[in-house]
Structure 1
């Protein structure tokens, strides 16, 4: 009877090891998939020295937090513009290319020169395209490209600002 009990215990240990290994493998795959799908997620700080603004001037600072939501992203941005005024923006947008409302603030008041709608398209895990509009009129298209190591986000923005000036910005953000 003793060998039979030992055999059963060994079988149980083997099953436990197989189940644990399977769970670990599933968790690893899930984690890697989630990380790859959300490369934009995180807190990004503007590197003003590496960025170019046309027309200028550049803002003094900007920190953007992206949070992954079902099929899209939630943005919270805070900064200081070139004149020392506080800037703030928040919105949630899906990666479906459809417009979502946005209400940029300047010193705690609505910014009349800011976009009132934004749309996102996810090109791949490292590339996103963001279009802004004001009163239904397209303003800018920003192409966000995240480095393969996930530490740098370069945004190339073209179009026209609310004052009718051509925009050609290249901004560099570093993940915090």
Structure 2
């Protein structure tokens, strides 16, 4: 078996190369984790336009048009939506909350102010290609009627 004996200067060079390789590997791993986190937050963020033809409202009818601008980060969820209601009147919805367990006002949504009682559960998912956002609303509206809506949006 042949042994390799590095000279002192060469040994130092090998140590630097090992250190740089380890540092680069660590930085790539950190960047990958950061990108995955940013991607998860960013899935819902953006401008979304309602697709009334693919949406189902029970009870109906739903809005004629609606465009939502959503900002979702690790500690904040902000929605600003404008459109035309089923009655043809302009509608505006605002919601700006932190993920801290506190209640925040939802402007423009009649069933949202219920003295702390949960009346609606909204679940949203973004398609794997990131172009379609589907929200399911289940609960009770301001008139006490059961709600089971599926609302489909497309990224703008």
TM bucket normalised to smaller: 0.7 to 0.9
Segments of 5+ residues of structure 2 without an aligned counterpart are 1-18
Shift in alpha-carbon separation, 1:138–1:25, aligned structure 2, 3 A: closer
Rounded to whole Å, the distance in 2 between the matches of 1:159 and 1:50 is 20
Q: Which has the larger share of strand?
A: 1
Q: Which TM-score applies when normalising by structure 1?
A: 0.66
Give, in whole Å, the separation in 2 of the partners of 1:17 and 1:141.
Answer: 49
How many residues of Structure 1 are paired with residues of Structure 2 in the alignment? 149
Asked which structure has the greater CA Rg, the reply is 2
Residue 143 of structure 1 is matched in structure 2 by 123
Are 1:99 and 2:103 counterparts? yes
Deviation at 1:19, TM superposition (A): 7.9
SS at 1:138 equivalent: coil
2:41 alignment partner in structure 1: 37
Q: Which of 108, 112, 126 does residue 133 from structure 1 map onto?
A: 112
SS of residue matched to 1:35? helix
- How much does 1:37 deviate? 2.8
Alpha-carbon deviation of 1:173? 1.0
Are 1:172 and 2:147 an aligned pair? Answer: no
**Which structure has more RCO (C-alpha within 8 Å, separation ≥ 6)?**
2
Paired with 1:36 and 1:135, the residues of 2 have a C-alpha distance of 31
Q: Write the distance in 1 (CA, Å) between the matches of 2:149 and 2:31.
A: 40
Match of 1:63 in 2: 67
The residue that corresponds to 2:5 in the other structure is: none
Measured in 2, the distance between the counterparts of 1:22 and 1:35 equals 20
Report the 3-state secondary structure (helix = DSSP H, G, I; strand = E; otherwise coil) of the residue aligned with 2:39. helix
Equivalences for residues 79-90 of structure 1 within 5 A: 79-90=83-94
Deviates more, 1:166-175 or 1:23-32: 23-32
**Which residue pairs with 1:123 in the alignment?**
none
